[in-house]
A and B are shown apart, each in its own frame.
Chain A
């Protein structure tokens, strides 16, 4: 109960600062523009994919860190009240992740609905894109909380956040590329698959790719990836990995919040 009350007040605070509105409008304008210039729903989805994979983690982790630092007063105030730390943490998390997710889903979904972009097979692809976006929002918001809880220095915390974002969106893939070239003599399909489970951005990207870029992925290597992620087991593993990415940082954040001295 208290979680909901806290989330409601936090939501009001967040809405008042307007960045969530801007965030939603950003997706709205971008999707709408893609429809006006790009045309088909499938093409819009492909363009959106890059935005979702880059912008959502960035915004979630940077704003998430700032948000938790900014909620420090609120947190301290509520901790002197008869409120469980768990409820407070959940309320704070919901106060961030909920408006961000809703802004993203509406900002992206409404133009699709308005432009009739749901025709054909794009409906399920859009769902996958929205699911991935929400998943990444939760994951990177959790990481943001974890960072903000473990560092008192706000500048440092933001620096770490950006570092984590750069790691998952750029550095990680650079390392994968390096591994592919350095271990060129070994069959790398399976190790590379395993590696991709360690990065939620890659995981999201590959799941989306498989629903869009079918032809390119039908080469021999692509077929290996496709067979894995296309099979029941592979999809199960992918979804479990994504779920683990949501749950583990969140659980660590909750534990850290539970033990923290304010």
Chain B
């Protein structure tokens, strides 16, 4: 459960080649961080895997199943978007209920995050009254709710207070240890260092490098991941 393969994936927005024949394998049971500068194609890659973006060419399989018109594979995916946008007039409870409904009202949902993130009090307010942080928390609840095999977390802690942030990170670790596949994008390198097993670095729609976190830090001789990556990139450029 949780093996993602991307073959030869290309996509362009107008004249901008966002993904350029990208190939990638994401292993199950690990946490993979997808990094890169703005516009490198991180979000587009994730959206392609989720089916939000229809790539111009290439192929994506999840556990050997081709990602296409059949939306069933998304049953195994939890997604926490970078910017949480919801119908403004609905409440969080209604959204949660609606998605449960759409997934056929499974019994074994995991609602522990509602309590852990302390959003009980916000569930019955319309979204338009919720702060950015609270919207983010609802996103997290939704992402973990159906115990998905694969989790996509797009900048999960951006805008969260330190306490919530650490609660969420603990939860991510817990899930990883439970054997779930986690795909993470983040600008916070300490977070990546703390959570990720592997780093995939995108540049101009291609994979610039792909290495395990331990290896990156080890071979660079730097103190932390941020500096190790910086060194790694500049080294390439110089060479």
Which one of B72, B87, B88 contacts A82 once the chains associate, using CB atoms below 8 Å? B72
Residues of B within 8 A of A260 (CB): 54
Whether B52 contacts A76 by the Cβ 8 Å rule is: yes
Mark out the residues of chain B between 125 and 167 whose CB falls within 8 Å of any chain A CB in the assembled complex.
none
Mark out the residues of chain A between 242 and 261 whose CB falls within 8 Å of any chain B CB in the assembled complex.
259-261
Q: Mark A11-28, 1 if CB is under 8 A from B, else 0.
A: 011001100000000000
What is the CB-to-nearest-CB distance from A199 to chain B, in angstroms, rounded to a whole number? Answer: 34
Given contacts A77-B86, A261-B54, A82 and B71 within 8 Å (CB-CB): yes
Whether B74 contacts A80 by the Cβ 8 Å rule is: yes
- Inter-chain CA distance A188–B86, complex, in Å, is 54
A-B contact pairs, 21 of them (CB 8 A): A2-B102, A9-B87, A9-B94, A13-B90, A16-B89, A17-B89, A70-B88, A73-B86, A73-B88, A74-B86, A76-B81, A76-B85, A77-B86, A82-B72, A82-B75, A83-B74, A83-B102, A85-B71, A259-B54, A261-B53, A262-B53
Q: A80-B51, A81-B102, A83-B74 are in contact. List 11 more A-B contacts (CB 8 A).
A: A5-B101, A6-B102, A9-B87, A70-B88, A77-B86, A77-B99, A79-B52, A80-B79, A82-B72, A84-B69, A85-B71
In the complex, whether A78 has a CB less than 8 A from a CB of chain B is yes
In the complex, whether B77 has a CB less than 8 A from a CB of chain A is yes
What is the CB-to-nearest-CB distance from B95 to chain A, in angstroms, rounded to a whole number? Answer: 7
Nearest A residue to B98 via CB reads A9
Contact residues of B: prevailing secondary structure: mixed
- Inter-chain CA distance A80–B74, complex, in Å, is 7
Nearest A residue to B55 via CB reads A261
Nearest A residue to B13 via CB reads A261
Q: Mark B51-74, 1 if CB is under 8 A from A, else 0.
A: 111100000000000000101111
Whether B90 contacts A79 by the Cβ 8 Å rule is: no
In the complex, whether B26 has a CB less than 8 A from a CB of chain A is no
What is the CB-to-nearest-CB distance from A33 to chain B, in angstroms, rounded to a whole number? Answer: 31
Residues of A within 8 A of B13 (CB): 261
In the complex, whether A156 has a CB less than 8 A from a CB of chain B is no
In the complex, whether A227 has a CB less than 8 A from a CB of chain B is no
In the complex, whether B103 has a CB less than 8 A from a CB of chain A is yes
In the complex, whether B50 has a CB less than 8 A from a CB of chain A is yes
The number of inter-chain residue pairs (CB within 8 angstroms) is 73
In the complex, whether B47 has a CB less than 8 A from a CB of chain A is yes
Mark out the residues of chain A between 31 and 78 whose CB falls within 8 Å of any chain B CB in the assembled complex.
70-74, 76-78
- Inter-chain CA distance A16–B89, complex, in Å, is 7
What is the CB-to-nearest-CB distance from A103 to chain B, in angstroms, rounded to a whole number? Answer: 17
- Inter-chain CA distance A259–B51, complex, in Å, is 11
Residues of B within 8 A of A76 (CB): 52, 81, 85
Residues of B within 8 A of A5 (CB): 98, 101-102
Q: For A13, A79, A82, A261, which residue has the most chain B Cβ atoms within 10 angstroms?
A: A82
Residues of A within 8 A of B79 (CB): 80
What is the CB-to-nearest-CB distance from A86 to chain B, in angstroms, rounded to a whole number? Answer: 9
Nearest B residue to A74 via CB reads B87
Residues of A within 8 A of B74 (CB): 80-83
Residues of A within 8 A of B98 (CB): 5, 9
What is the CB-to-nearest-CB distance from A14 to chain B, in angstroms, rounded to a whole number? Answer: 9
Nearest A residue to B99 via CB reads A81
- Inter-chain CA distance A9–B90, complex, in Å, is 9
Whether A73 contacts B103 by the Cβ 8 Å rule is: no
Residues of A within 8 A of B54 (CB): 259-261
- Inter-chain CA distance A163–B56, complex, in Å, is 32
Whether A80 contacts B77 by the Cβ 8 Å rule is: yes
- Inter-chain CA distance A78–B98, complex, in Å, is 10
- Inter-chain CA distance A70–B128, complex, in Å, is 12
Whether B89 contacts A13 by the Cβ 8 Å rule is: yes
Which one of A77, A81, A261 contacts B47 once the chains associate, using CB atoms below 8 Å? A261
